[in-house]
Amino acid sequence: MIGHTVYVSVDGQARAYTSTQRTVAEVLREGKIPVGPGDRVTPALNARVWTGIQIAIVRSVPFSVVVGGSPRQARLPAATVAEALSLMNIELRPEDRAYPDLSAALTPGMQITVVRRETRTWIEHTPIPFPVETVSDRTVLKGQRVVRTAGQPGARDRTVRVEYADGRPVSVQTLADAVVRQPITQVVAIGTKPLIATQGQYAGKEIMYLEATAYYPGPNNFGGGVGPKTAIGLMAKHGVVAVDPSVIKLGSRVYIDGYGEAVAGDTGGAIRGGRIDLCFNTYEEAMQFGRRTIKVYILKAP
């Protein structure tokens, strides 16, 4: 019987044989080339042999795959990383990355990592607060505020591109950042025109209508205890009030409806603009007063 020249490749290593066997399986037995479970033989073991036939054996290899952070175990007859992923029906999208490289030879115990990558781009719309400008106005009563020009917020658009790997951001890039609408300044007129009493005991004196609160210079004062001394060195007691010095000068003598004569002798962090804080000698009196609008006469400025 005339022998056939056959070529046998095992995991890419090829050798030539002369064989009189009739099937692929018989050729491999003759050459003492074992075929293990899961190995891939091409052509099939029962295929008939012809002269010049190329028999390829790819050994089944155990390995692990991590896709998008999720691990799995596998054993497949694959020669390369790319072939292993193909046999597992793991498709790589254009931005995905595989480690080791797709062309790398598959070896027992290898870990293949597929990082799912994607890029998202969006526009962030951010408001720009409008500035506030205050101007004095002699036509408006002192202490009053009138909005002359309504403020309008501006707008800023920022185009952002973020790259994700397995769902986690790994790169943030600003592609564009532009003000698409300039803010419009709010103009507020602050009145400087005094209101003068025309009759009564305090005719000719300046009148102010202020929002009044009350405090007690003791440990259970609302917001915490206050010191016994005021901003100008007076003892905190009934008849000493806290004011905004830009509205009522410190040291001014005033008369307050429902409270009596007092001295503007103190300041406070929350006492701004048309506010006044009245001192009472007891906690109960301060609580009973609460918060209300009162009329204040400026009797004498320092």
Answer for the pair 28, 37: CB distance below 8 angstroms, yes or no: no
Which fold would CATH assign to domain 195-300?
Answer: Barwin-like endoglucanases (2.40.40)
| Residue 134, beta-bridge partner list | 188
Express each pLDDT in 234-244 by its tens digit: 888 899 999 99
Express each pLDDT in 153-207 by its tens digit: 999 999 999 999 999 999 999 999 999 999 999 999 988 888 888 888 989 999 9
Q: What is the pTM of this model?
A: 0.55
Domain with CATH 2.20.230.10 in the chain: 120-190
Distance CA 49, CA 301 (A): 120
- In this prediction, residue 143 carries a pLDDT of 66
Express each pLDDT in 243-284 by its tens digit: 999 889 999 999 999 999 999 999 888 888 889 999 998 889
Task: Report whether pLDDT(112) > 70.
Answer: yes
Distance CA 83, CA 69 (A): 21
Domain with CATH 2.40.40.10 in the chain: 195-300
- In this prediction, residue 219 carries a pLDDT of 64
Domain covering 120-190: architecture: Single Sheet (2.20)
Domain with CATH 3.10.20.90 in the chain: 61-115
Domain covering 61-115: architecture: Roll (3.10)
Domain with CATH 3.10.20.30 in the chain: 4-58
**What CATH code is assigned to 4-58?**
3.10.20.30
Express each pLDDT in 15-65 by its tens digit: 998 999 999 999 999 989 999 989 999 999 999 999 999 999 999 999 999
Say which residue, 140 or 71, is predicted with more confidence: 71
At residue 174's C-alpha, the angle toward residues 170 and 177, to 5°, is: 160
